[in-house]
Amino acid sequence: MKFSTNVRTGEKVQFTSWKSPSGPSIGSFSSSIQTQSLVQTFIWKDGSPFLRSGPWNSSNFIGIPEMSSVYYDGFSLIEHQDGTYYFNCSYVSNYFFHYVLTTEGDIEQRYWDYEKDDWGISWNAVKSECDVYGMCGAFGSCNSKSSPICSCLPGFEPKNTNEWNRRNWTSGCVRRTPSSQCAVVNSSIEAVKMDGFLKLKTMKVPDFADSSLAPENYCRQQCLENCSCIVYAYDSGTGCMSWTRSLIDILSSGGVDLYIRVACSELDKVGDGKKVVTISAIIGAIFISICTFLLWRWMAKQQVRKKKAMEILFFNRGEAQQNFSSDNLAQVKIQELPLFKVEKLAKATNNFHLSNKLGQGGFGPVYRGTLSDGQEVAVKRLSKASGQGLQEFMNEVVVISKLQHRNLVRLLGCCVEGEENMLVYEYMPNKSLDVFLFG
């Protein structure tokens, strides 16, 4: 069958839908070729546009991205001298295809599935509600992946904000800042540094395009010279396209790059916005870098401090190192013990005042103290006069750090700074064990 239209007589061979899936009488939808300026196909609902393919560019419809694939090669537009245009499809396939305009207004490419012994659908025209003609109104762009799906083109704002907020986009958008006038300078026509173009990538071009044979490098200048020109685009198969009327039925997917005309003030806003984003990104990167560096420095200092404490505790004392195997050292897990600073423990014990002294042992004196968070502790300070102090200190770290029992005081941490070696225990108010053993 030839899907065709005659521009001279108006005669058409078109698709028509059934009234219902079981009612073969003519329904609300029809599909035909339209040849005004550029050749397109339309699906009509009760005579009004329902879906548009975008212009034909000698190999595919630029509003249907899937047709650019090898799979859909083989379509061609034939023009007869009598004014008839029709589409032909001649690619080779292992499947038998046919096309159906459904009762819902969707064109489906169906193939016979031999395994299921039924028709399957390999392609359909309506992918989302954005495919519906003029979904976002004049000067609006539709993107099915955004929320909301409709947005105004750059330089435009909603015509009716209340309706727009209620997601009724039929009223479309209006220009925010009037476009500037053209002027003649040095016998050549150009815009007076007020108008410019913003690039919108891969868009389905609007309806009602005017086409010309202007080469790509002159397409922009041609639009700039025409003060009524709102948008221009260029496609190698279609040529130079421009629009002077309301822009309708624009999708932000597939198609070609659009260049929309805006006033200089709008270009400045875009430039300022880009500067703000760029500067913010740079400042943010610098801030993150500084924070990362400071955090790294702090962590490095902590690691050095702990490492130094371990070295002092286990390796700088050759006499004690000989008394412990590597297994014992590995079991100490000194990294898991909090390290207290001398200043903090001195403050907690009132600078190790005699009034806070709880007792004296072979290791050294023990002081009662209160940390800044209110926790009471017992601080055992290695006596410099004790010859056995260091070994006892290491014994307690090795043993008590491995043992946890309700009848044993808990080792809270230690302090290893310079010549100071201290163990910090939880404070037990009921005196020591010798009192109960010996009275």
Residue 231 has pLDDT above 90, yes or no: yes
Residue 198 has pLDDT above 80, yes or no: yes
- pLDDT range class, residue 412, cuts 50, 70, 90: confident
If phi > 0 it is left, if psi is from -120 to 50 it is alpha, else beta; for residue 139 that is left
- pLDDT range class, residue 135, cuts 50, 70, 90: very high
Q: Domains of the chain by range and CATH?
A: 3-126 (no CATH), 140-261 (no CATH), 326-438 (3.30.200.20)
What pLDDT, on the 0 to 100 scale, is given for residue 20? 92
Give the tens place of pLDDT for each residue, 4-35: 999 889 899 999 999 999 999 999 999 999 98
Least confident of 41-50, 286-295, 317-326: 317-326
How far apart CA 288 and CA 402 sit, in angstroms, is 40
Residue 64 has pLDDT above 70, yes or no: yes
How far apart CA 276 and CA 279 sit, in angstroms, is 5
What pLDDT, on the 0 to 100 scale, is given for residue 183? 44
- pLDDT range class, residue 191, cuts 50, 70, 90: very low
How far apart CA 2 and CA 184 sit, in angstroms, is 51
Residue 312 has pLDDT above 60, yes or no: no
- Using CA atoms of 228, 231, 236, 237 in order, give the dihedral in degrees to the nearest 10: -80
Least confident of 109-123, 260-274, 282-296: 260-274
Q: Check residue 73 and report its DSSP letter.
A: B
- Give the whole-number percent of the chain exceeding pLDDT 70: 76
What pLDDT, on the 0 to 100 scale, is given for residue 404? 66
Closest CA to 199 of 134, 149, 274, 129: 274
Read off the pLDDT of each residue in 184-206 and give the average, rounded to a whole number. 68
Residue 220 has pLDDT above 80, yes or no: yes
Least confident of 250-254, 401-405, 417-421: 401-405
pTM of the model: 0.58
What pLDDT, on the 0 to 100 scale, is given for residue 62? 87
Q: Which residue has the higher pLDDT, 304 or 208?
A: 208
Q: What is the SS3 assignment for 366-427?
A: EEEEECCCCCEEEEEECCCCCCCHHHHHHHHHHHHCCCCCCCCCCEEEEEEECCEEEEEEEC
Q: Does residue 262 contact residue 154 with C-beta atoms inside 8 Å?
A: yes
Q: Which residue has the higher pLDDT, 279 or 246?
A: 246
What pLDDT, on the 0 to 100 scale, is given for residue 73? 58
Residues 6+ apart with CB under 8 A from 285: none
Q: Is residue 327 classed exposed, middle or buried when 0-12, 13-18 and 19+ CB atoms within 10 A define those classes?
A: exposed
Residues 6+ apart with CB under 8 A from 15: 3, 30, 31, 32, 99, 101, 107
Give the tens place of pLDDT for each residue, 65-102: 777 654 555 778 888 888 899 988 776 666 678 889 99
Give the tens place of pLDDT for each residue, 364-410: 889 999 998 899 999 988 876 665 555 666 666 767 766 666 667 78
Q: Which residue has the higher pLDDT, 105 or 69?
A: 105
Read off the pLDDT of each residue in 135-148 and give the average, rounded to a whole number. 93
- Give the whole-number percent of the chain exceeding pLDDT 90: 36
How far apart CA 319 and CA 334 sit, in angstroms, is 19
